[in-house]
Amino acid sequence: MSTLEIKDLHVTVDTEDGAKEILKGVDLVIKDGETHAIMGPNGSGKSTLAYSIAGHPKYTVTQGSITLDGVDVLAMTVDERARAGLFLAMQYPVEVPGVSVSNFLRTAKTAIDGEAPKLRTWVKDVNAAMERVKMDTAFATRNVNEGFSGGEKKRHEIVQLELLNPKVAVLDETDSGLDIDALKIVSEGVNRFREQGDRGVLLITHYTRILRYIKPDFVHVFVAGQIAEQGGPELAEQLEAEGYDKYVTAAATA
C-alpha cells in the first residue's frame, strides 16, 4: 500500500530575471493501483511537476509538500527518493558515455534493493525485460543511451521501470516522439507494471493517443501551473475533440 500525496505545491525555477514561479499550488493524491494522467499545453508546468517529484536541483519548492506514505519526500536527496520507491521515466533520457547499460542497470538495482542481484537470475531478468520491449539484448553492452534513437531511449526507460519496479512511476511524456509500434510496446510495458495491482502511475502527456493504450483512472488538465479541471477518462476524449483552447483562454483572462 502506498500513496503519493502532493499538497499546495509551489515551485520556482531560476532564470536570468530571477526566480520564476512555474507551479502555483498543485494538489494531487495518487493511491496505489491508480493511474493518473496529467495533460496540458506546452509550458503549463507538467514536466516541472515530474522533476520536482524526482528532486531535480534546478527546481526549488517554495511552498507545499510531497509525501510518500506520509514520509516527507522533499527532505530526501534524489537517490533517496528513488530508493524510497519513486521512479521518473524521462522525456529526454540522458547519455552517460563510457557506462554500459548492463553496469548501469546492475548498479541501480543494487542501490534500490540494498544488495547485489543474484548473478544467475539477473542476466536472465535483464534479457527478458529487454526482449519484452523488443530491444536487442546487445544494447546491454552499449553505453547508456549513447547513440540510441528516441524510441530506443524510451524503451530503455521502460526496461528500467520493469527491473527496478518502483511503488510510483512518473512518466514524463514517454509517448513523445514514438511511432505507433513503439508507442504500443512502451504502453504494454507500463500496463504490465500496472497489472501488479498496487502500483501508482502518473502519466504526463501532451497528446491523448497514449491514453488509448493506457487507460487512466483520473485525468487532470494542467494549465499555467495549476490543475484547471479534473475528471475520469471521458475528460481525455473531450480534450481530444476540443483541445486546450478554452482552458488557456480562461487562464489568460483570469
CB of 26 to another protein, least distance (A): 20
Positive or negative CA dihedral for 104, 86, 173, 7? negative
Which residue number, 103 or 137, has a Cβ lying nearer to another protein? Answer: 103
Q: Any contact of residue 116 with another protein (CB under 8 A)?
A: no
**Chain-centre distance of CA 113, in angstroms?**
20
The residues, ordered by sequence, that sit 6+ positions from 143 with a Cβ below 8 Å of its Cβ are 95, 96, 97, 98, 99, 100, 101
CA angle centred on 95, ends 94 and 98, rounded to 5°: 145
Map the footprint of another protein across residues 146-185, applying CB under 8 A.
160, 164
Which residue number, 110 or 149, has a Cβ lying nearer to another protein? Answer: 110
Which residue number, 98 or 253, has a Cβ lying nearer to another protein? Answer: 98
Q: Any contact of residue 97 with another protein (CB under 8 A)?
A: yes
Contact flags string 16-55 toward another protein, x per CB under 8 A: --------------------------------------xx
Stretch that binds another protein, among 20-28, 61-69, 89-97, 191-199 (CB under 8 A): 89-97
Which residue number, 94 or 241, has a Cβ lying nearer to another protein? Answer: 94
Contact flags string 62-81 toward another protein, x per CB under 8 A: ---------------xxx-x
Which residue number, 135 or 235, has a Cβ lying nearer to another protein? Answer: 135
Q: Any contact of residue 15 with another protein (CB under 8 A)?
A: no
Q: Any contact of residue 94 with another protein (CB under 8 A)?
A: yes
Question: b/e map of 31-47 (b: 16 or more CB within 10 Å)?
Answer: ebebbbbbbbbeebbbb
Q: Any contact of residue 61 with another protein (CB under 8 A)?
A: no
Q: Any contact of residue 4 with another protein (CB under 8 A)?
A: no
CB of 145 to another protein, least distance (A): 8
C-alpha cell at 210: 497514449
Pick one of 7, 56, 132, 192: the residue that binds another protein (CB under 8 A): 56
Residues engaged in binding another protein (CB under 8 A): 54-57, 77-79, 81-83, 87-88, 90, 93-99, 103-104, 107-108, 111-112, 143-144, 160, 164
